[in-house]
Amino acid sequence: MGFSGKFSGWRVLKEGLTGNKGWTAHWRDPEPKREYDVVIVGGGGHGLATAYYLAKEHGLRNIAVLEKGYIGGGNVGRNTTIVRANYYLPGNSEFYSHSLKLWEGMEQDLNYNAMMSQRGILNVFHNDGQRDAAVRRANSIINQGDDAEILYRDQLKKLVPFLNYDNNRFPIMGALLQRRAGTARHDAVAWGFARGADQYGVDLIQNCEVTGIDVEGGKVTGVQTARGPIKAKKVALAAAGRSGQVAAMAGLTLPIESHVLQAFVSEGLKPVIDHVITFAAGHLYISQSDKGGLVFGGNLDFYSSYAARGNLPTQEHVMEAITAMVPAVTKARLLRSWGGIMDMTPDGSPIIDTTPIDGLYLNAGWCYGGFKATPASGDCFAHLIATGRPHEAATRFKLDRFRSGYGLMDEEGTGAQHNLH
Amino acid sequence: MRITCPLCGARDHREFTYKGAALPVPALDSGVAEWDAHVHLRENPAGPHEELWQHAMGCGAWLKVRRNTVSHEILAVELAQDAGLVIKEDRS
Ligand SMILES: Cc1cc2nc3c(=O)[nH]c(=O)nc-3n(C[C@H](O)[C@H](O)[C@H](O)COP(=O)(O)OP(=O)(O)OC[C@H]3O[C@@H](n4cnc5c(N)ncnc54)[C@H](O)[C@@H]3O)c2cc1C
Ligand SMILES: [Zn+2]
């Protein structure tokens, strides 16, 4: 049964007073049809947003999203929810700028509370080189039309006094602040786009693993699934960490290696950390969830993996690093840790492109930064699928850039090794 | 994870650095397609995977490791030099 009617403060009040008996399921649970105009593989944030924008912006209605597990069970529900538009290089810069603007209007657009919280992000730097890089990045962000400020040690100390400013190896010099950045409730983002797509008539089919992609004469004709064959004029891949496996079903080998990224959350505490704080000392970051848990994480485990769990060395490393930078964390007890599978590309930037197979579209390579991309990824992928042309905010996310060497977007300059981004 | 280095014995995974898939190095005069495949494209299997690790904090040897990417179980280890993973020099 579809959920009819809108969410509003009035509705919450009314339901609260009448035993909350009027709420119904947020989306239907349909049987798959035999044929669709567009089949999207993967019901994560990107697949759902793609379906939503295909319907809303391009008027398509005969769309299915095929999800092997359940909606929100992938990385969209496993990430640490940071949303920001502070990328440096052309290609990424305009795309994440577009994304942040969509985030700012998303809850109204979807009529769904995604708990979007523009609490600001602080990228802490520790030495002269990092400071210069932060200033360059800030200028590039401002040129892009977004907000960036540099705070030096004394200004930063007023804002976040609880950091370890005098660590011997990584003393804190200052930070790049983007006030419009922040966090959002990750699974509510999946649910909001799912409900929005469903309301346009998109079929969300769960427990429906795609096991094959049918190609005839260089053109895609449909997919094989755990719930039978489904014909499709167009097939759009949005399988995140499983991109390589899904593309292999169509005979494609991708420039992608899958890696595990872990994250951690403490017991719930009183509000203490107002911002998202990242440290250039490592790939290290922390924020506090609305439930009070300190949410933090660090680097990949660095070896290729399809296990949604990591190993102890990375856990130890993250604990050491975060307690060095935020000593108060030593007092908190760890509640749990988990991992998710990242599709890492050789330059750390994503792919939204056509493929050598007619009618087969690819959305992949989001590495550990794809949550913030969710609305723009859906918007730009939908544009590509509907019109055959890239969206103006995503013209550089080409599949062949690795082969040609033209237009690589290696933000950290670490070179063509999948796990180093 | 523990990796048994053929030279040093079983050691904690902290001592090793992962490089990536263990792929034969193309001949130096190979074309763009071969180098693109070598540097970028990956089979990326969920299951047994042949990969290069260096015993960086031990003997320094490069190892070819067969490891299950789903369970993280180490299935086989040999020295990369014995596995033929070396650049073939043009001696003509
Ligand atoms: C620990 C962690 C922390 C992170 N932190 C951040 C962060 O702070 N900020 C940020 O921007 N990004 C972050 N990310 C990255 C972000 O979560 C991902 O890049 C993004 O969620 C990927 O897109 P998605 O939501 O569509 O993926 P998913 O939710 O994984 O969706 C892909 C879906 O495809 C389905 N699928 C796979 N194979 C098949 C098949 N054969 N048939 C049918 N369905 C299939 C999967 O079941 C899955 O549901 C983090 C990731 C992790 C793991
Ligand atoms: Zn050794």
Span B21-54, pLDDT tens digits? 999 889 989 999 999 999 999 999 999 999 999 9
Give how far Cα B60 sits from Cα of A60, B17, B56, Å. 57, 10, 5
Question: Could you tell me if the CB of A195 is within 6 A of ligand 1?
Answer: no
If one counts every other C-beta atom within 10 angstroms of the C-beta of residue B16, the result is 22
| Residue B34 counted as domain residue | no
Instruction: Find the ligand nearest to B53 CA.
Output: 2
Name the closest residue on chain B to residue A313, using Cα atoms. Answer: B14
Question: What is the model's pLDDT at position B61?
Answer: 96
Question: Could you tell me if the CB of A121 is within 6 A of ligand 1?
Answer: no
| Residue B37 counted as domain residue | no
ipTM: 0.93
Question: What is the model's pLDDT at position B90?
Answer: 55
Question: Could you tell me if the CB of A107 is within 6 A of ligand 1?
Answer: no
Q: Chain A: give the shortest CA distance to residue B74, in Å.
A: 12
pTM of the predicted model, to two decimals? 0.97
Query: Are A245 and B44 inside 8 Å of each other by CB?
Result: yes
Question: What is the model's pLDDT at position B92?
Answer: 52
| Residue B38 counted as domain residue | no
| Residue B35 counted as domain residue | no
Question: What is the model's pLDDT at position A1?
Answer: 38
Query: Which A positions 252-271 lie with beta carbon below 8 A of chain B?
Result: 253-258
What residue's CA is closest to ligand 1, atom 3?
A79
On chain A, the residues whose CB falls within 8 A of the CB of B43 are 244, 248, 253
Residue among B32, B37, B44 whose CB faces A257 most closely: B44
| Residue B14 counted as domain residue | yes
Classify B86 as helix, strand or coil. Answer: coil
Query: Are B70 and A306 inside 8 Å of each other by CB?
Result: yes
Question: What is the model's pLDDT at position B83?
Answer: 86
Question: What is the model's pLDDT at position A28?
Answer: 97
User: Domain holding B58: CATH number?
Assistant: 3.30.2270.10
What total of structural domains would you count in chain B? 1
Query: Are B72 and A311 inside 8 Å of each other by CB?
Result: yes
What digits encode the pLDDT tens for the residues A377-414?
999 999 999 999 999 999 999 999 999 999 999 998 99
Residue among A304, A311, A402 whose CB faces B13 most closely: A311
Q: Chain B: give the shortest CA distance to residue A171, in Å.
A: 26
| Residue B31 counted as domain residue | no
B88 pLDDT above the threshold of 70: no
Question: What is the model's pLDDT at position A2?
Answer: 43
Instruction: Find the ligand nearest to A224 CA.
Output: 1
What digits encode the pLDDT tens for the residues B55-80?
999 999 999 999 999 999 999 999 99
Q: Say how far apart CA A165 and CA A126 lie, in whole Å.
A: 9
Residue B70 structural domain: 1-24+45-87
> Residue B85 — pLDDT band, cuts 50, 70, 90?
confident
Measured in Å, residue B88 CA sits from the centre of ligand 2 at 24
| Residue B40 counted as domain residue | no
Question: What is the model's pLDDT at position A5?
Answer: 74
Q: Which residues of chain A have pLDDT under 50?
A: 1-3
